[in-house]
Amino acid sequence: MIAQAMEEVVSLFKDNGIHAVSDPSKVDTPCALILPASYAFDRLGADATGLTCDVYLIVAHKSTDEALKALDALFEKLIAFNDIRSVEAITLPLTQGHYPALKTSLYFTVTKD
């Protein structure tokens, strides 16, 4: 169920126009890197899981102005389908280099098909 939940969350982002991956080695900017943070099986029962994801909106490292504009464009797409309360500006160290990013956490309920 965990793998299915992650696939559904990544698909949700893709369906809303955001290139998304759940594998840090497959980051291709601009994109959303979605990583599982916690699961809540006990509260939702056998047919559903609560999934909290850390979401990193990542862009290529260019000038600060260009990076901020690119992050803003990704963020606008994200808030079109999610209620975001806060984001944190970070530099994300990946094997491919260091990237400007916005980090937030989102909660999803995923049910068995």
Instruction: With a cut of 50, list the residues of the chain below it in pLDDT.
Output: none
Cβ–Cβ < 8 Å for 109, 44: yes
Total structural domains within the chain: 1
Domain that holds residue 81: 2-111
- Predicted confidence at residue 30, as pLDDT, reads 95
Distance in angstroms (rounded) separating the CA atoms of residues 81 and 104: 14
Ramachandran angles phi, psi of 103, nearest 5°: -115, 135
- DSSP characters for 35-64? EEEEEE-TTT-TTEEEEEEEEEEE-----H
User: Which of 59, 55, 56 lies closest to 70, judged by CA?
Assistant: 59
How do beta strands 97-111 and 20-21 pair? unpaired
- Predicted confidence at residue 49, as pLDDT, reads 75
- Predicted confidence at residue 59, as pLDDT, reads 96
- Predicted confidence at residue 53, as pLDDT, reads 92
- Predicted confidence at residue 102, as pLDDT, reads 96
Q: Residue 50 sits in a domain of what CATH number?
A: 3.30.2000
- Predicted confidence at residue 72, as pLDDT, reads 94
- Predicted confidence at residue 2, as pLDDT, reads 75
